[in-house]
Homo-oligomer: A and B are copies of this chain.
Amino acid sequence: MLQRLNHVALAVPDLQAAVATYRSMLGASVSAPQSLPEHGVTVVFVELENTKIELLEPLGENSPIAAFLAKNPKGGMHHLCYEVADIVAARDRLVASGARVLGDGEPRVGAHGKPVLFLHPGDVHGTLTELEQV
C-alpha cells in the first residue's frame, strides 16, 4: 500500500529563519513561501533529490499546527506523508484494521490539491501519518 515517501513535515515558529538555516547552513534548495489560508499554514519545500521536506509555519487563527508549536516552541517533526494508489481502498483497509482516520473519516483535499487522510498517531506508534493519493 505505501509507495513513495511524499514528504516529511516539520513545524517551525519562524519560517524565514528556518529557510535561512536550510539554504545557508545546510546548502539546500528551498522554494518560495506559499500561504495556504484554507489549511492554516505557510509552507516552503526543501527540495531533495528523492523527496521533499515541508517547513510549515502557522497562518491565521486555529492553525492545525498551533498546538504542536505550543508544546514544541522551537519546532520539530510534525508528520510523515506516504503516497498510495487509491485513497478510498487505503481508508477501507485501515478502518478494517481498527485504525482511526482523523476528522469525519473521509479523505479530503489536502494542501497539494490531492485527496489525503490522516491517521491518529496513537494507531501508528506515536507518528502522525498522512496518506496521499497521487
Do B25 and A126 touch across chains, with their CB atoms under 8 A apart? no
A94 to chain B, nearest CB (A): 7
Spot the interface stretch: A36-44, A59-67, A76-84: A76-84
A88 within 8 A of B: no
Given A25-B94, A76-B126, A51:B49 Cβ within 8 A: no
Interface core residue of A5, A12, A24, A74 (most chain B CB under 10 Å): A5
Given contacts A2-B28, A48-B5, contact A76 B10 (CB under 8 A): no
- Oligomeric state, in number of copies? 2
Contact A97 B48, CB 8 Å, known A10-B127, A76-B126: no
- A97 to chain B minimum Cβ distance, whole angstroms, is 4
Q: Which residue of B lies closest to A98 (CB)?
A: B25
Which A residues between 109 and 134 are near B, CB-CB below 8 angstroms? 121-127, 129
Apart from A3-B49, A74-B126, what are 8 other A-B pairs with CB-CB below 8 Å? A2-B28, A5-B53, A8-B8, A12-B125, A55-B125, A74-B121, A74-B122, A76-B125
- 16 residue pairs from A and B, CB less than 8 Å apart: A1-B26, A2-B28, A2-B46, A8-B8, A8-B80, A12-B125, A18-B125, A25-B93, A25-B99, A26-B82, A48-B82, A50-B50, A74-B121, A74-B122, A74-B126, A75-B127
